[in-house]
Amino acid sequence: MRHVVLVLLGLLSTASFAAKPPPTPPPTPSSQVAYRTLSGKSVKLVVADQSGANASTLYTSPTSFNFDLAPRSQQQVAINARDGMLRLLSYSVGSSGALTADGPAVPLVQATSGTNLAFSGDGRRIAYSCCDGGGQQKVMVYDLDTQIATKWADANFVWDVAFLREGGTSVVYGDPNNSGGQDLFEVTAPGDTPKLLFHDRTNFYFSASNANPNAIATEYHDAAGNAYVGLWQAPVGDQTEGHFLVPNLTNRSIAFFPELNCDDTKLAYMSSTTPAGGQIFFIKDFTTNQDSVFAKQSNILLQFWPTCS
């Protein structure tokens, strides 16, 4: 009996000092994404790992909306829904890395319902379009520090918008023209004459590079109807024209909605990969040249945080 007790004590002692697996580290901005998705009769902004795991809802709206993420340390999201109001959602990050809204999204200023918007690199300005009611639209910039909205340019319709150049000194925007295509313009200051950067055969979406202040990841189309995503750089120095640094980032002939991650090592995009035209959102890792499927649905909008920490 004594030997049995000693053996049991030995087992208990060994178990008590056995190495425990290290705790799972909390997610980081570089490992997470945010995406808009339809959920029943509402539309949600969801945060998840890049694999799609650990998803949690940050914001819910009765109507669709577009959004843009501020630098992670700022802990804010700009939202433009169907009610013609630009809003700012603030959130907190818990010790586990989970994001929780601090309250309702705060109204800032009127905007064109549901159109695209973009934070500047420092997160202190938001480019967007205004306003509903017909006629021309305006390319606007809202300053979070002064709480003042300033018109930068007039447009037929602001299809997409982003800040460009070091320090976000320029705004670029897509404006459909009267021939059925779309032009990309750059305006360097409020009221300056917009400069035509390039023309495409149809409407296109784009997003700013987070590693090259002069570049955007953009859709473009050829005469055969292919839709590519390339990395395009605006003219710098004495250059008179921009050019594609990488003509085809996805190695596909159909790709839409490009979004680069914090250091341009990953790209989120949508493509069609089935004979029936089923749409799939991918995340491409340029360090491995591998695509991973994020979602097999077309009604999401996927973004990375623009900063890695």
Q: Whole-angstrom Cα distance, residue 294 to residue 273?
A: 14
pLDDT exceeds cutoff 60 at 24: no
Residue-wise pLDDT for 131-145, tens only, equals 987 778 999 999 999
Residue type, 129: S
Mean pLDDT score, 51-66: 94
CA 251 to chain centre: 21
CA distance 269 to 206: 11
pLDDT at 21: 56
What is the reported pLDDT for 153? Answer: 97
Which residue has 């320029």 as its token pair? 170
Interval 240-275: pLDDT, tens: 999 999 999 999 999 999 999 999 999 999 997 655
In order of 54, 85, 171, 203, 292, the CA distances from 304 in angstroms are 15, 24, 21, 23, 15
Q: Distance (Å, rounded) from C-alpha 254 to C-alpha 227?
A: 5
d(CA 296, CA 231): 25
Tokens matching residue 87:
């809003």
The pairing of strands 227-233 and 215-221 is antiparallel
Per-residue tokens: 198? 């390039």
Helices (H), the chain: 2-16
Centroid of chain to Cα 22: 33
* Residue 162 buriedness (CB in 10 A; 0-12 / 13-18 / 19+): buried
Tokens in use for 53?
């795991």
Task: To the nearest 10°, report the CA torsion of 36, 37, 39, 43.
Answer: 40
Q: Is 9 helix (H, G, I), strand (E, B) or coil?
A: helix
User: Residue 277 has what pLDDT?
Assistant: 61
**Digit-coded pLDDT (tens) for 89-133:** 999 999 888 899 999 999 999 999 989 999 999 999 999 999 987
Quick one: how many helices (H) and strands (E) in the chain? 1, 25
Q: Are 86 and 128 in contact (CB under 8 A)?
A: yes
Question: Residue 282: its pLDDT value, please?
Answer: 95
Name, in order, each residue with C-beta under 8 angstroms of 93's C-beta and a sequence gap of 6 or more: 75, 99
pLDDT for 66 equals 96
Looking at the structure, give the CATH architecture of the domain made up of residues 29-304.
Answer: 6 Propeller (2.120)
Task: Compute CA 209 distance to the chain's CA centroid, rounded to the nearest angstrom.
Answer: 11
Q: How confident is the model at residue 103, as a pLDDT?
A: 97
3-state helix, strand, coil in the chain (%, to 5): 10, 50, 45
What sign does the CA torsion over 150, 153, 159, 164 have? negative
Contact indicator for 228, 220 with CB cutoff of 8 Å: yes
Query: Is the model's pTM score more than 0.85?
Result: yes
